[in-house]
Amino acid sequence: MKNKAINCRVCSIKLTASNRNCNTSRCKSCYNDYMREYLKTNKDKHNEVMKKWRAKNKELVHQMNVNLATKKFGSLIKSITHYCKKTRHEVTDGYVRHRLTKHDPLLIAKDIPNDLIELKRKQILLTREIKNYA
Ligand SMILES: [Zn+2]
């Protein structure tokens, strides 16, 4: 096995289990600075790498999302309920696209033009107003 560095190669403080960043030879704070700079100059490249990684590790990504939702809301169902209510209340683009495509399996959400979304949003808000007065 390769020997691990003892000191951070940037600020040369002693690396311990708590301040070492995974298997790098930098401390957490130096690694974060390095990544911040790296992402500023290589944003597109990084996004491409992450996109490929997510496509390759779909199961893992799903499990990470489930863990995150469970940690934040207590269960996956509660998390889904929360975001459904939120998007419905705010009439987001995603909600409108869903309303337009849910009855037609041939329609794809990203094919719907933005003008149509604006019109549908107005219709939804108008219908809500009418229901409030009825
Ligand atoms: Zn350091």
Q: What is the pLDDT of residues 100-124, one digit of tens each?
A: 999 988 988 888 999 999 999 999 9
Select the more confidently predicted residue: 71 or 22. 71
Residue 74 lies in a domain: no
How far apart, in whole angstroms, are the C-alpha atoms of residue 83 and residue 68?
Answer: 14
Q: Kindly give the distance from the C-alpha atom of residue 40 to the centroid of ligand 1, in angstroms, as a whole number.
A: 20
Q: Give the model's pLDDT for residue 25.
A: 85
Residue 11 lies in a domain: yes
53 burial class (0-12, 13-18, 19+ CB within 10 angstroms)?
exposed
- Do residues 26 and 34 make contact, with C-beta atoms less than 8 angstroms apart? yes
Residue 78 lies in a domain: no
Same domain? 52 vs 1: yes
Residue 129 lies in a domain: yes
Give this prediction's pTM.
0.59
Q: Give the model's pLDDT for residue 122.
A: 97
Residue 99 lies in a domain: yes
- Do residues 101 and 109 make contact, with C-beta atoms less than 8 angstroms apart? yes
Q: Kindly give the distance from the C-alpha atom of residue 4 to the centroid of ligand 1, in angstroms, as a whole number.
A: 15
Same domain? 1 vs 52: yes
Same domain? 1 vs 49: yes
Q: Kindly give the distance from the C-alpha atom of residue 42 to the centroid of ligand 1, in angstroms, as a whole number.
A: 22
Q: Give the model's pLDDT for residue 79.
A: 95
pLDDT mean over 35-48: 92
Residue 79 lies in a domain: no
Residue 48 lies in a domain: yes
Q: How confident is the model at residue 1 (pLDDT cuts 50, 70, 90)?
A: very low
Structural domain boundaries enclosing 24: 1-56
Residues with CB under 5 A from ligand 1 (ion): 8, 10-11, 27, 30
pLDDT mean over 39-45: 93
Please report, as a single letter, which amino acid is at residue 34.
Y
Q: Kindly give the distance from the C-alpha atom of residue 32 to the centroid of ligand 1, in angstroms, as a whole number.
A: 10
Name the domain count of the chain: 2
- Do residues 54 and 61 make contact, with C-beta atoms less than 8 angstroms apart? yes
Residue 41 lies in a domain: yes
Select the more confidently predicted residue: 82 or 109. 82
Structure tokens at 66: 């489930």
Average the pLDDT over each of 5-19, 27-41, 96-110, 113-127 and give the range with the smallest value: 5-19
Q: Is the pLDDT of residue 2 over 60?
A: no
Phi then psi dihedrals of residue 118, to 5 deg = -60, -45
Torsion, Cα 102 103 108 111, to 10 degrees, reads -100
Q: Give the model's pLDDT for residue 16.
A: 84
How far apart, in whole angstroms, are the C-alpha atoms of residue 33 and residue 41?
Answer: 13
Q: Kindly give the distance from the C-alpha atom of residue 44 to the centroid of ligand 1, in angstroms, as a whole number.
A: 26
Matching residue, tokens 């329609």: 107
Same domain? 52 vs 95: no
